[in-house]
Amino acid sequence: MPLFTVDADKCRHDGICAAVCPLDLIEPADKDHLPRPVKDAEKECLNCGHCMAACPFGALELERMPLSECRPIAKEAALTPEQVAQFLQSRRSCRAYKDQPVPRSTLERLVRIASYAPSGHNTQPTSWLVVEDTREVRRLAEITVDFLRIMIKDLPELAHLVHAQQIVDGWEAGQDPVFRGAPHVIVAHGQKDARTAPMGCVIAQTYLELAAFGLGLGACWAGYFNAATLNHPPMQEALGLPEGHQNFGALMIGWPQYAYYRIPLRNEPRIVWR
Ligand SMILES: Cc1cc2nc3c(=O)[nH]c(=O)nc-3n(C[C@H](O)[C@H](O)[C@H](O)COP(=O)(O)O)c2cc1C
C-alpha cells in the first residue's frame, strides 16, 4: 500500500505537502509526477498528518488517515489574539467544587481534546486513568494523607515546606484538602522509561486542564497525590497502572463553585535575549 494517494484533479503542484513534511518523505510534484512518497517513507512516517492538513485543496489522502474523517478547520471559529490571551490568563486552579458529577461524555471529550497535544516524534505516549467514582477519589485522598503522615515523621523539613501537616489536619477535620472535594481525578500515565513520556504526558495534561476551563469545568493539578503515586507503594497498588507505567501528572476535575472576575498579577518574565 502506498503511504498516500493524490487526486490528480485537485493537486495544484504547489509543493506544500512536501515542504511541511517533518522528515522530508515527500517528493514534490514535477511535470511528470504527482507528489509521491520517497523510498521506505511508510516506515519512517510519523503519522502527523501535516501533508493532508496543509493541502488547501484536499488533494492528498494518507492511507492510514481517511480524509473524510479529518474535519476542516472552521476559520470563523478562530480566536482573536485578545481572546487567546484572556483565555490563557484567566484560567485558574480550582479549589472549590460543586457536589455534582461531570458526565462521562464530558470527561471523555476532555481526553479526546487533550490527545491533540504535541509529543516527541508524534509518539502520543499518554494513557489516561479517569477516576470517575467519587468514592474511589476519596480513597485515593486517604492514601495520600497516609503518605503525608509518613513524610511528616521521616522527612520533617520537606513536610514543613509542603504544608503536609495542614493537609493532614484538614483531612482529620473532615475536609478534602488533597482533591478539594473534586468528584473526579484524571491521571496521565505512560511508560516509565519511554523517552517522550514525561514531557508528552505533562503537555497532554496541560491541554486537558485548558480544555476543562474552556468547557466551564474547574481543574487543578493534584501535587500531593502526584507525590504519593511516585513514592508510596500502597498508592501504586491502589492505582494499578499497567506494568512499567508511571503517573506523570494528575488533575482534579469538577464543576467550579465560584467564578473569577479579575486576572491576578504574575512575576515579570525572566528573559535573556541573545
Ligand atoms: C505540578 C503542580 C502541582 C500542584 N499541586 C497542587 C495541589 O496539590 N493542590 C492545590 O491546591 N494546588 C496545586 N497546584 C496549583 C498551584 O498552586 C497553582 O497553579 C498556582 O498557585 C498558580 O495559580 P493558578 O493556577 O490559578 O494560576 C499545583 C500546580 C502544579 C503546576
Domains of the chain: 4-69 (3.30.70.20), 85-254 (3.40.109.10)
- Nearest-CA residue for ligand 1 atom 11 is 95
Q: Which atom of ligand 1 is nearest to the CA of 95?
A: 11
Tell me, in angstroms, the distance from the centre of ligand 1 to residue 93's CA: 6
Tell me, in angstroms, the distance from the centre of ligand 1 to residue 94's CA: 9
Rounded CA separation 52/58 (Å): 7
Kindly report, residue by residue over 93-145, the tens digit of the pLDDT: 999 999 999 999 999 999 999 999 999 999 999 999 999 999 999 999 999 99
Tell me, in angstroms, the distance from the centre of ligand 1 to residue 82's CA: 25
- Nearest-CA residue for ligand 1 atom 22 is 93
At 18, the pLDDT band (50, 70, 90 cuts) reads very high
Q: For position 31, what pLDDT does the model report?
A: 84
At 71, the pLDDT band (50, 70, 90 cuts) reads very high
At 1, the pLDDT band (50, 70, 90 cuts) reads confident
Tell me, in angstroms, the distance from the centre of ligand 1 to residue 220's CA: 6
Q: For position 136, what pLDDT does the model report?
A: 98
The pTM of the full predicted model, rounded to 2 decimals, is: 0.95
- Nearest-CA residue for ligand 1 atom 6 is 223
Percent of the chain with pLDDT over 90: 98
Return the C-alpha cell found at 213. 476551563
Tell me, in angstroms, the distance from the centre of ligand 1 to residue 89's CA: 14
CB neighbour list of residue 4: distance below 8 Å, 6 or more residues apart:
37, 51, 52, 60, 61, 62, 63
Percent of the chain with pLDDT over 70: 100
Rounded CA separation 108/53 (Å): 24
Segment 163-187 shows an average pLDDT of 98
CB neighbours (10 Å) of residue 262?
6
- Nearest-CA residue for ligand 1 atom 18 is 93
Q: Compute the residue count for the chain.
A: 274
Question: Residues lining ligand 1, CB < 6 A?
Answer: 92-93, 95, 220-224
Whether 57 and 69 have beta carbons less than 8 Å apart is answered as no
